Amino acid sequence: MGETDPQEELRSGPVLPLDEASESATIREPCSDESVAVPETIPQHNGTLVGTRALATASLESPKPALATQINLLVTVELEEALDRCREKVGRISKECRKDNRKFRDIEFDLENDSKRCYFGMDPDPSKKIPNVKRVTEIFENPQFFIDGPGSSDVVQGALGDCWFLSALSALATSPGMIEKVCVARDEVVGVYGFVFFRDNRWVDVIIDDQLFWSPPKYEELKKEEQELYHEDKDLYNKLTTGNGKGLHFARSETNGETWVPLIEKAYAKLHGDYMSLGGGLMFEGLEDLSGGVSQITSSSDILDSERFWNEELSHANDKMNLFGVSLPRHDTARRGDSSTVFVRGLVDKHAYSVLRAKECKGKRFVVIRNPWGSFEWTGPWSDGSKEWTPQWYDVLKELDHVLGDDGEFVMEYSDFLDTWWLIQHVTIPDSSWIMSSYWLQMPTRPMDYPWTRGEVIFNFTLSKPSMTTIVLSQLDNRYFSDIDGRMVLSLDFVLYKRGETEPQGESYTTALCLRSVTCHLELDAGEYVVYPRIDRFQSREMGYFIDDSKEWDYRKLSQVLTQRTQSRSIAARVNTNLTCRQKRKFISTSLTRVIEQDLIAPTKDKEVYPHRTPEVNLEIKTEELPSSESSKTMAITGDDEDDTPTNALVTVTGHLRT
């Protein structure tokens, strides 16, 4: 479960409200020997800004082709930097931990000691008990990150409504080598893992340890009668409850002993602040974040020519750079008198499925689909065990690379596919022939009664030669801080014109309201073009929600979320947050790199840099020779007993305040 219906969010109160929208327009075109001119984006404001603010990006993509061939991820300026940074962090942590004979513990996302902050969002559910925590080496006898490589059938959903992300993970696993590119570096012995994700049009790295939430209680927590079931034998209990990974609270791999699925889910949860932040979403968001791809969402009822859709889109599900997912609409359960999950021929509403393959065999068109639960399959025609699978069709199973059985994977005929599914989500990962550049800026959002208008911000771009072009207009990813991000949820669209012409060249296509991004794919002649964005607003919360809700919030968690919101919004050019520099620093912590630059490389006494810093402490170091008995003890500990061993010394540190 966990697939979010954007329309239902508007009816029941959106889960993703924001009143300071962030937008981006991304313009993509195939690489050429000629440069692409990008005139400066021009904000145009009418009247006084009232209410909310928005961030916007006009972008043109630009990779390094050699790296693109190697990486198979969307190549941007930040990709190589993120990869190098991730490898450096993992390498440094690995070296330090091995030197100190300890496993890595991530104090920024410590499931054992900081479980509430890692598990819950701003509004913890008191009915939910936080599970225990184990390292992967305590769960599996011989854990391995990959066993025979990652596969789509490995992914099994746990007790979290992130089917949209896990279906994206399963779809990405059909593209050889892609999962390995996201999982950049690791030391499985030390327990440190590094990943990269594409957030807000740039690559970021995430480092985690190997602690995971574990559902079975500890032996000591069992009731007396429960312990008696295991003959009061703790070793027997541990042996029976560990070893296969089925006790993992959240996602797991179907392959026993394999750990990549729960660990990449954990890294994605850390990226967004906590596990509960992953509850509900659309599959294309996960695919974009994993690959940097470009999404297009189509409603099956909008397809004009099903023959063209098969030939031009769905049949490319077999290509490693085209990934698909599907979902059913949210069914109204009021008439039934309950709100339980609705099953239609074995399929679940409000749930995301990944498309694995689409092939034509013996004159019929088939689509292979997977439920991230690893069970509960389609029961209609061509389902596993259905009457259609007569002996003359058995050879088709091999062509489809499908095995009959209750594993969550099933086959549908194309006609049933179109009749059954509501949203078809298609994400394309541009190859090295495409270039990209991204630009964020603020765009004002007007009060609720203000007309839905254009022209307050425009984006210009110039093509030096005819090109296939994709324009993407995006909101800032607010999943981390959605609980505090305002009273409105926004819906975007845009129209494209060529400079000097009055007829539009194209416009964004959208199937649903309030999506994170909208796109337009078209072939353009050389020339200068103008993108006109537009924002629509839907109220999702009442005025004063922050003051009312914050009474129940944990202020330490709130500080973390406020910091991330400020950092995310700060990527915009010409950002105007109405905060002073001193106020901004309240929510944006100074990085260690910046501190080192200020204190060690280019020392400064500017109090505005660190307005709350205590007086600096000067340390005076004195060394004294140890008494012979103490010296011999130290030498024995270090193992140095040669005559030329440097003299052991006791280091005494004294300090005084320098004002």
d(CA 402, CA 647): 70
Q: Band the pLDDT of 204: cuts 50, 70, 90.
A: very high
* Per-residue confidence (pLDDT) for residue 187, from 0 to 100: 98
Residue with the bigger pLDDT between 60 and 382: it is: 382
Average pLDDT for 23-49: 33
Predicted confidence at residue 45, as pLDDT, reads: 28
For position 1, what pLDDT does the model report? 62
**pLDDT, position 249:** 94
**Domain 315-428 in CATH: superfamily?**
Cysteine proteinases (3.90.70.10)
* pLDDT for 499 beyond 50: yes
Enclosing H/E stretch for 228: helix 224-229
Q: Which two tokens stand for residue 251?
A: 């996602």
For 109-118, 153-162, 180-189, 603-612, which range has the lowest pLDDT when averaged over its residues?
A: 603-612
**How confident is the model at residue 340, as a pLDDT?**
60
Residue 260: which of 105, 409, 149 has the closest Cα?
Answer: 149
* pLDDT of 354: 94
CATH 3.90.70.10 domain span(s) along the chain: 315-428
The predicted pLDDT at position 605 comes to 54
% of the chain exceeding 90 in pLDDT:
40
User: What pLDDT band is residue 141 in, cutting at 50, 70 and 90?
Assistant: confident
* Model pLDDT, residue 474: 86
The single residue listed with the structure tokens 């991230």 is 372
For residue 505, give Cα distances in angstroms to 238, 402, 527, 531.
65, 43, 12, 10
Backbone angles phi, psi at 556, to 5 degrees: -70, -40
Q: Is 521 a catalytic residue?
A: no
Q: What is the pLDDT at residue 437?
A: 66
Average pLDDT over residues 289-312: 93
Task: Classify residue 600 by its DSSP letter.
Answer: I
371 among known catalytic residues:
yes
Instruction: Report residue 209's pLDDT band, with 50, 70 and 90 as the boundaries.
Output: very high
DSSP-based three-state secondary structure for 442: strand
Find out whether 51 and 446 touch, Cβ atoms under 8 Å. yes
What average pLDDT does range 346-364 have in this prediction?
92
> Cα(18)–Cα(16) distance, rounded to whole angstroms?
7
261 and 182 Cβ atoms separated by less than 8 Å: no
Give 557's contacts (C-beta < 8 A, 6+ positions apart).
Answer: 117, 120, 121, 122
- Confidence (pLDDT) at 338: 56
Average pLDDT, the chain: 77
Pure H helices in 462-607: 545-550, 555-569, 581-587, 592-596
The pTM of this model reads 0.80
- For range 202-215, the mean pLDDT: 95
Distance from C-alpha of 219 to C-alpha of 161, rounded to nearest angstrom:
28
Q: Tell me the range of 130-139, 423-432, 456-465 where mean pLDDT is highest.
A: 130-139
- 311, 315, 320, 324: CA torsion to nearest 10: 110
Distances (CA, A) of 40 to 43, 255, 396, 495, 505: 10, 51, 55, 19, 21
Of the residues 163, 183, 514, 520, only one is catalytic, namely 163
CA distance 111 to 122: 17
Could you tell me what percent of the chain has a pLDDT over 70?
Answer: 69
- The pLDDT assigned to 68 comes to 36
Task: Please give the average per-residue pLDDT across 154-160, as a whole number.
Answer: 93
Catalytic residue among 351, 402, 514, 520: 351
Query: Considering Cα of 483, then 488, then 491, then 492, what sign does the dihedral take?
Result: negative
> What tokens does 211 get?
């602690």
Beta-bridge mates of residue 472 = 26, 519
* Residue 188 pLDDT > 90: yes
Residue 325 has pLDDT above 50, yes or no: yes
Mean pLDDT of the region 141-147: 94
pLDDT of residue 610: 54
Query: Could you tell me the CA-to-CA distances from 498 to 89, 501, 621, 659 in Å, in that order?
Result: 46, 6, 70, 63
Residue 520 in tokens: 């337009």
For residue 615, the model assigns a pLDDT of: 53
Tell me the average pLDDT across 130-156: 93
Q: Which pLDDT score is estimated for 503?
A: 92
Span 373-395, average pLDDT: 92
Gap between the Cα atoms of 208 and 531, Å rounded: 40
Kindly state the tokens that stand for 456.
């307050």
Cα dihedral 635/639/644/648 (nearest 10): -30
What is the model's pLDDT at position 242?
Answer: 72
Highest-confidence segment of 27-31, 115-119, 337-341: 115-119
39, pLDDT greater than 70: no
* Arithmetic mean of pLDDT, 465-486: 86
Model confidence band, residue 219 (pLDDT cutoffs 50, 70, 90) = low
The pLDDT confidence band at residue 114, using thresholds 50, 70 and 90, is very high
Strand 649-658 versus strand 517-524 pairing type: unpaired
Q: What is the pLDDT of residue 226?
A: 67
User: Could you tell me whether strands 322-327 and 423-428 are parallel, antiparallel, or unpaired per DSSP bridges?
Assistant: antiparallel
- Average pLDDT on 518-531 reads 87
pLDDT at 648: 43
Helix axes 163-172, 260-271, angle to 10 degrees: 130
Q: How far apart are CA 326 and CA 324, in angstroms?
A: 7
Reply yes or no on whether 163 is catalytic: yes
**Number of residues that make up the chain:** 659
What pLDDT band is residue 582 in, cutting at 50, 70 and 90? low
The single residue of 72, 371, 426, 514 carrying the catalytic annotation is: 371
The predicted-structure confidence for 604-645, as pLDDT tens digits, reads as follows 555 555 555 555 555 554 545 445 444 333 333 333 334 444
